[in-house]
Amino acid sequence: MPRQYRLPLLFLSLAFTGGVTVAIGLVLGGKMSRLEADGVTTTARVTRLREVSSGSGNSRTTNYRVWLDAEHNGQDYALEDDVAEDIYRPLAEGGSVSVVFVPDGSGLCLIGAQADVARVAQTAEWVRYGGAAVAAIGATLLAAVWFAPRLPSNDGSLSGQAYGRA
């Protein structure tokens, strides 16, 4: 790859990564807002636990999934949630756990209490802010690298001649 294109691609990648991070924060924040507004807290029974590992060597990833049966206003709900290891380890099939869920059949739930929902919503907000900052820095640096060769240098010639863009 020609040298003059490395920095613009690096900064474009930085801006793209920031944009993806903002999108993740928006999706997570939207789910948590819905749980805060419409969620009910109840005790659910753990019906199934699953731990799935992928990768090899030092780059192994483990995902933990929990299936739950909850009851609200006489109606039964089948829920599932992906959880962190510290939440997963103490659970046992047939055991009870506190869960916040939206009783509309969507399956949107979070193991924990309303305070946990608020904490995750706050984290999602910070993820959005951080992603926006990274995207702004990447876009600014990309614009600076892209437009700088087109600006006149001190001697009146175009500095872009060094990059072959003049």
**pLDDT tens-digit profile of 115-162?**
888 999 999 999 999 999 999 999 998 888 877 666 566 665 555 555
For the chain, the domain total comes to: 1
**C-alpha to C-alpha distance for 31 and 116, rounded to whole angstroms:** 13
- Helix ranges (DSSP H) in 63-113: 85-88
Residue 159 lies in a domain: no
Residue 158 lies in a domain: no
- Residue 99, domain extent: 3-150
Looking at every residue in the chain, the average pLDDT score rounds to 85
Distances (CA, A) of 126 to 35, 74, 81, 103: 18, 38, 22, 28
Residue 105 lies in a domain: yes
* pTM beyond cutoff 0.85: no
Q: Rounded to 5, what percent of the chain is helix, strand, coil? A: 50, 30, 20
Residue 130 lies in a domain: yes
Q: Cβ atoms within 10 A of the Cβ of 65, count?
A: 14
Please report, as a single letter, which amino acid is at residue 120.
Answer: V
Residue 65 lies in a domain: yes
Residue 42 lies in a domain: yes
